[in-house]
A and B are shown apart, each in its own frame.
Chain A
Amino acid sequence: MEPELEFMRRSFARYYDSNSVDIPYRFGRREFGFIMFEGGFFKRHMAFEKSGQLQNFMRTAIPRHAYYSTAYYRRPNGAKMADKGWMGADLIFDLDADHIAGADRMTYPEMLAAVKKQFIKLVDDFLNLDFGFDYKDIKIVFSGGRGYHAHISDERVIRLQSHERREIVDYITGIGLETDRLLEKDAAEVAKYKEHRKIIDVYHLAPKDAGGWKGKVSRGIGELLLEMRDMGEKEWVSMMRGEVEEIGRERVARMSGAKNMGKGTFESLYRELFTNGKYTRIIEEGNLNIFRSEKQKNLFLFLMLRMLKLSLEGETDEPVTSDIKRLIRLPGSLHGKSALRVIKLDRERLNDFNPIVDAIPDVFREREVKITLKNDIVQPVGEEAGKKLYAGEISVPVYLALFLMGRRVASIE
């Protein structure tokens, strides 16, 4: 074995000597899988009857990565998936740095902070508010790597099949939203002009406490209008025109039915809304009957919904949620590439949780070790994260050495 792997394995052994892994709910029904240090092979289809056996396995086999199945099986140790007898699976949400725009330009701590922010939105706005899960039933886990997981073992959801779970993902990520259903229709109004009569559908925003995306949009439009009110006319007009350019004029025309979307159109829209103060009627009454023309209204709504949708939609990894036979990291074990602890949290603890410090196991803080850094880097974990480290031989705490070796940027004699 390479000396780095050997060092990691010895350190992991010390960790598992004094730490236990968390025993998952209904753990006798779960399949376990491990990636070993030796040869890096994947040991799957294991099951444990007693928690002591699992703890003992961790202490003696010292795996590099430890996973358990989100599914419950009649025979979790069946060698083929078809033999196992699927009984249900926890509903899992996984959010990591891949879902964060611009994550590749962020440092590790910045990236984790951005993921946490998105994750809190997922838990609060979607899992709790819309899907109605109590915070105590949402098990939150820091993955030890680049993100967070939420596990839900509610009886009503563990039976859901893959295509049903995909609907949940679509709900969260905003796929298939029919924007015309977001508004509520009043009784039709009859417009009279000389001899002609025309029936016009009159729409208003749903009440702010409405459920689903309807409510989200009604609340969001209110907030967005308040932000817009504080902009000057010039800034607002150029922002709206920028939005049109980004989507493409032709497409805006096709989808909103509007023809005019030049400077003048937006200037008059701004005056109508903000200079004349009509935006308050939208916020207070949900009234959309304040525009000069249908086309102007449709243009405004189309652009507002475009801007809002991005800020309202959540993120979660589709394949993880819709996979009903997946293996996921075992809380209490170590992540084999970061040597950080996979930690079970709750919603309250999540607020102040700082993974780059709080996920460091105590046994890796006790001493320092000499390593050779391949390049200059910014220290990714620990209290001194952000500090510049230079290529060459340095002495660092064990946790940092492990993290850097796991990422293959440091070597050890």
Chain B
Amino acid sequence: MEPQDLARFPFLKEASSYIAEQGLDILQVLDDFVYLNAVNMGRKRVFSAITEGEIPQVSARDEESATDAIISYAVDRIIVSTLPDSYLINRYSRVEAESAAAYLYDEPADFVMRVASDLNFPLELGDSEDFRMHFSDYLIYSSSMRDAAWKLINQELKGGYIPMTKRRAVRLMQNAIESKISEKLPLPLPDDVKDYFRKDTKRLEILVAEAKSRFSESDLGEYSPERLPPCIKHVMAMAQQGINIPHMGRFALVSFLNAIGMEEEEIMAVFALSPDFREDLTRYQVEHITGISSGIEYNVPECSTMKTNGLCFAEEDNDSLCRKDWLKHPLQYYRIKGEEKKGNGKENGGANKGKKV
């Protein structure tokens, strides 16, 4: 690949070999004013990723500016590593990966294949569509995709392979790129490098704190039973009538109530109404699921899991919010209902569509 290409995909193995071939090492880069531009680009990259959610457009007209762009990627990884914070690392990696994917969408199939092979991403050229992928690889790389359009059953699986448009292939590659970028972060750094970026670290710290506080303000608010999704309402009613709840239902209920901020005792109280309530057993389960005893705070199962386990009551209850195809998670329901109550949510949910749970 040309350096101009590598500039857009600086996370590739080929890009690091290119830098190595130039005989560049990072301490030298930081000290040499020739690379001042690259270092500043690196700064911009990080701050733009955190505040704007995007990477500035890379314009690598010649080999020199391409080299700068590749170096700027190395620099931004270093700056990110000066503040070991998982929110920061996740956000940064996601934005870098999205930016790379945006470039890839415009590339021809053979170029996409070259990037795939550098990443060891198991993509193949296809016949009925541009690409294809073995279903086992597909399952691994699509497991974070929540939309029903990605579910295996909705793929045209034949002979072990799933045909894929470039758009979908690149979207899955984005996941691989994201894990490749975040994999080694934070990098171990010598003290003089940390010192060099001290001011940047301070600034990052403030930005990350701001972002986190915005995040928690939009949090779940006060508990109100009318905001509960049908699945949780049903399981809760079962608990209170002493009907035997399947394991997954109990798990969903406890993890849900925990996620919306109920205290252990309040959760216990939900079960206590049941005629065959056994305090010791219930407490054990509640403590395990909420992470008090297990140390692991379990996530609330998403809609598809509830459906798989026969716990989804959207259809029975004819619930219009549940039927929106972007509604993927019981907590999303709870949050949207909360916003509706405040009067700033739209019934059609359009404004909430992209919300992360």
Q: Which of B139, B156, B307, B318 contacts A214 (CB 8 A)?
A: B156
Chain B residue numbers with a CB within 8 Å of A177 are: 153-154
Chain B residue numbers with a CB within 8 Å of A178 are: 148-149, 151, 154
Chain A interface, number of residues (Cβ within 8 angstroms): 31
* Closest residue of B by beta carbon distance from A210: B156
Q: Which of the listed residues A159, A168, A254 has the most CB atoms from chain B within 10 Å of its own CB?
A: A168
Q: Let me know if B154 and A181 touch, CB within 8 A.
A: yes
Q: Which of B140, B161, B304, B315 contacts A132 (CB 8 A)?
A: B161
Least CB distance from A107 to B in Å reads 30
Q: Which of A132, A156, A176 contacts B148 (CB 8 A)?
A: A176
Q: Check: A215 CB closer than 8 A to any chain B CB.
A: yes
| Contact bitstring A131-152, B, C-beta under 8 A = 1, else 0 | 1110000000000000000000
* Closest residue of B by beta carbon distance from A172: B153
Q: Let me know if B158 and A130 touch, CB within 8 A.
A: yes
Question: Interface of B with A (CB < 8 Å)?
Answer: 134-137, 139-140, 143, 148-149, 151-163, 304, 307-308, 315, 318
Q: Check: A129 CB closer than 8 A to any chain B CB.
A: yes
Known contacts A166-B308, A176-B304, A176-B307; A215 and B136 CB within 8 A of each other: no
* Closest residue of A by beta carbon distance from B308: A175
Known contacts A132-B161, A156-B137; A212 and B155 CB within 8 A of each other: yes
Q: Which of A131, A133, A159, A212 contacts B154 (CB 8 A)?
A: A212
* Closest residue of A by beta carbon distance from B139: A164
Chain B residue numbers with a CB within 8 Å of A160 are: 136, 139-140
Q: Mind listing 25 A-B residue pairs with CB under 8 Å?
A: A129-B159, A130-B157, A132-B160, A154-B136, A156-B137, A157-B136, A159-B140, A160-B136, A166-B308, A167-B139, A167-B151, A168-B152, A170-B151, A170-B153, A175-B153, A177-B153, A178-B149, A178-B151, A211-B156, A211-B162, A211-B163, A212-B156, A213-B153, A213-B154, A254-B318
Q: Which of the listed residues B135, B163, B315 has the most CB atoms from chain A within 10 Å of its own CB?
A: B135
Q: Check: A163 CB closer than 8 A to any chain B CB.
A: yes
Least CB distance from B297 to A in Å reads 18
CA–CA, A323 to B75, complex, Å? 44
Chain A residue numbers with a CB within 8 Å of B137 are: 156
CA–CA, A215 to B156, complex, Å? 8
A-B contact count (CB 8 A): 85
* Closest residue of A by beta carbon distance from B135: A131
Least CB distance from B234 to A in Å reads 18
Least CB distance from B255 to A in Å reads 16
Chain A residue numbers with a CB within 8 Å of B307 are: 175-176
Q: Which of B148, B153, B159, B163 contacts A171 (CB 8 A)?
A: B153
CA–CA, A213 to B153, complex, Å? 7
Least CB distance from B246 to A in Å reads 12
Least CB distance from A216 to B in Å reads 10
Chain A residue numbers with a CB within 8 Å of B143 are: 163-164
Q: Which of the listed residues B137, B149, B152, B162 has the most CB atoms from chain A within 10 Å of its own CB?
A: B152
* Closest residue of B by beta carbon distance from A182: B154
* Closest residue of B by beta carbon distance from A313: B153
Question: Interface of A with B (CB < 8 Å)?
Answer: 129-133, 154, 156-157, 159-160, 163-164, 166-168, 170-171, 174-178, 181, 210-215, 251, 254
Least CB distance from A42 to B in Å reads 22
Chain B residue numbers with a CB within 8 Å of A156 are: 134, 136-137
Return the 4 tightest CB-CB contacts between A and B, nearest first.
A132-B160, A211-B158, A211-B156, A132-B159
CA–CA, A171 to B149, complex, Å? 13
Least CB distance from A287 to B in Å reads 20
CA–CA, A171 to B162, complex, Å? 13
* Closest residue of B by beta carbon distance from A250: B318
* Closest residue of A by beta carbon distance from B316: A251
CA–CA, A361 to B146, complex, Å? 50
Q: Let me know if B308 and A170 touch, CB within 8 A.
A: yes
Chain A residue numbers with a CB within 8 Å of B318 are: 254
* Closest residue of B by beta carbon distance from A318: B308
Q: Let me know if A170 and B156 touch, CB within 8 A.
A: no
Least CB distance from A165 to B in Å reads 8
CA–CA, A176 to B308, complex, Å? 8
Chain B residue numbers with a CB within 8 Å of A163 are: 143
Least CB distance from A105 to B in Å reads 24
Chain B residue numbers with a CB within 8 Å of A174 are: 153
Least CB distance from B44 to A in Å reads 39
CA–CA, A130 to B135, complex, Å? 10
List 20 additional A-B contacts (Cβ < 8 Å) besides A130-B157, A176-B308: A129-B158, A130-B158, A130-B159, A131-B157, A132-B158, A132-B160, A164-B140, A164-B143, A167-B152, A167-B153, A168-B139, A171-B152, A174-B153, A177-B153, A181-B149, A211-B157, A212-B156, A212-B158, A213-B153, A254-B318
* Closest residue of B by beta carbon distance from A209: B158
Least CB distance from B325 to A in Å reads 8
CA–CA, A167 to B150, complex, Å? 11
Q: Which of B134, B136, B157 contacts A212 (CB 8 A)?
A: B157
CA–CA, A210 to B156, complex, Å? 7
Q: Let me know if B156 and A171 touch, CB within 8 A.
A: no
* Closest residue of B by beta carbon distance from A255: B315
Chain A residue numbers with a CB within 8 Å of B161 are: 132
CA–CA, A128 to B307, complex, Å? 27
CA–CA, A163 to B318, complex, Å? 28
CA–CA, A178 to B318, complex, Å? 18
CA–CA, A265 to B278, complex, Å? 56
CA–CA, A239 to B149, complex, Å? 33
Chain B residue numbers with a CB within 8 Å of A167 are: 139, 151-153
Chain A residue numbers with a CB within 8 Å of B149 are: 178, 181
Least CB distance from A369 to B in Å reads 44
CA–CA, A212 to B135, complex, Å? 11
Chain B residue numbers with a CB within 8 Å of A131 are: 135, 157, 160
Chain B residue numbers with a CB within 8 Å of A154 are: 136
Chain A residue numbers with a CB within 8 Å of B308 are: 166, 170, 175-176
Chain A residue numbers with a CB within 8 Å of B155 are: 211-212
Q: Let me know if B154 and A176 touch, CB within 8 A.
A: yes
Chain A residue numbers with a CB within 8 Å of B158 are: 129-130, 132, 210-212, 215
Known contacts A157-B136, A254-B318; A176 and B156 CB within 8 A of each other: no
CA–CA, A266 to B322, complex, Å? 32
CA–CA, A211 to B154, complex, Å? 10
Chain A residue numbers with a CB within 8 Å of B154 are: 176-178, 181, 212-213
Q: Let me know if B152 and A170 touch, CB within 8 A.
A: yes
Chain A residue numbers with a CB within 8 Å of B152 are: 167-168, 170-171
* Closest residue of A by beta carbon distance from B155: A212
Chain B residue numbers with a CB within 8 Å of A157 are: 136
Least CB distance from B138 to A in Å reads 9
* Closest residue of B by beta carbon distance from A155: B136
Q: Let me know if A176 and B135 touch, CB within 8 A.
A: no
